[in-house]
Amino acid sequence: MTVPPGSTIGIVGGGQLGRMLAAAAAQIGYKCHVYAPDEAPPAAQLASSFTRGRFGDEAALARFGASVDVATYEFENIAAGPLAALCAEAPLFPPRRALEIAQDRLLEKEFVASLGGRPARYAAVDDLPGLQSALEEIGAPAILKTRRFGYDGKGQARIAQAGDATAAWDAVRGAPSILEAFVEFSAEFSILLCGSANGETVLWDSPRNAHQAGILRHCEIPAGPDLAGAIAEAEALSRRIAEALGHVGMLCLEFFASEDGAVFNEMAPRVHNSGHWTIEGAVTSQFENHIRAICGLPLGSTALAARRVRMDNLIGDEVLGWRDLLADPAAHLHLYGKGEPSPGRKMGHVTRLFF
Ligand code: AMP
């Protein structure tokens, strides 16, 4: 199947990822139709059409599907059930199964473990007594994470000692969760992979990622020789995962590098913040290859465009420094058109290339 330039791509979700997808799609001649619940989402500013609708509204999703030639999503906390109404009207990539697995931390860890991956030790938790017995099994320190609807460190509570269990259970509001052992890692990195409908799979250089309070701060590429072994192991696992899913489009997998190698953290079947550097730092960006993949086009080269690349997120008030960033000749500034900054909100990013 080829969806040729000139066609309309549907994007479910209206954030900065959809905005950067729409920009990449426009560059190769596609129009985008964005579907999101917000009044004026960042992606709609760059799309040729916008439908405001709830992610759970099957009738609206079906109408949206009928108005596009192919559809994708940029946000994984969309119930996979209602998306079936969209799938009946238009092809949807990445496959719905990838979304179903990635949006439930328990299914995700079981799936990855079944393919030989190694998540941190974990136990499912459905109530407070269950948390107490999981803590006996896993030990402290540990992290309690909701199975669904978590992002940027939200829906998580750290447990330093067994006595913190009640407070952690309150913090996740009693939602079905998993308890995860705290991983002693030397670094974090991600695998950025794109699969095409004809079985082609490409990977970019793995970024070394630094997080603060659960939010990505910056990425450095290349990740450094100390991570080479863990990255090779993670790449092999990621290829097996993509193959098992019949994955078409971007898949990002996050790992911890520990003494025993690559520990799987989580995956997202979509373009990802740790791949924003590819816009200027690689021959073809994650956004363009995602569009190419879902439209059945050949994928572009993922080679590095510089010796070293660094991407810094602009979080909250940091965005107010845009004037100084524009004065830096090495800085590529991206602002997401989000209006007022608030603490923890991703407002933009800046990428620097070193030759
Ligand atoms: P997540 O939303 O699960 O990706 O978590 C956000 C960040 O919290 C990760 O990138 C890590 O920096 C930290 N984190 C999450 N889970 C663990 C863990 N089991 N051990 C140590 N740090 C963790």
Give the pLDDT of residue 18: 98
How far is the centre of ligand 1, averaged over its atoms, from the C-alpha of 13 (Å)? Answer: 24
Cβ–ligand 1 contact at 322 (below 6 Å): no
Residues 149 and 265 in one domain: no
| CATH code for the domain of 305 | 3.30.470.20
Q: Calculate the CA dihedral of residues 137, 159, 342, 188 and round it to 10 degrees.
A: -60
Q: Which residue has the tokens 């599907």?
A: 65
pLDDT digits (tens, 9 = 90+) for 160-203: 988 898 999 999 988 999 999 999 999 999 999 999 988 899 99
Q: Is 214 in the pocket of ligand 1 (CB under 6 A)?
A: yes
Domain count, the chain: 3
| Share above pLDDT 70 across residues of the chain, in percent, rounded to a whole number | 99
* Ligand 1: centre distance to CA 118 (Å): 15
* Token pair in block for residue 269: 């079947």
153 CB near ligand 1 (under 6 Å):
yes
pLDDT for 29 equals 98
* Inside any domain, residue 107: no
* 147 lies in some domain: yes
Instruction: Confirm or reject: Cβ of 211 under 6 Å from ligand 1.
Output: yes
Measured by CA distance, the residue closest to atom 6 of ligand 1 is 214
Q: Which residue owns the Cα nearest ligand 1 atom 7?
A: 214
> Considering 163, 181, 199, which residue would you say is the last residue of a domain?
181
pTM: 0.96
Are residues 163 and 193 both part of a single domain? no
Report whether the peptide linkage leading into residue 94 is cis, meaning its omega lies within 30 degrees of zero.
yes
Q: Are residues 140 and 73 in the same domain?
A: no
Kindly give the parts of the chain with pLDDT less than 50: none
C-beta of 182 in contact with ligand 1 (< 6 A): yes
Cα 76 to ligand 1 centroid, rounded to whole Å: 18
Answer whether 143 contacts ligand 1 (Cβ < 6 A).
yes
| 262 CA distance to ligand 1 middle (Å) | 14
Distance of CA 230 to the CA centre of its chain: 20
Q: What is the largest CA-CA distance in the chain?
A: 60
Alpha helices (runs of H) in 68-149, residue ranges in sequence order = 80-87, 96-102, 105-114, 128-138
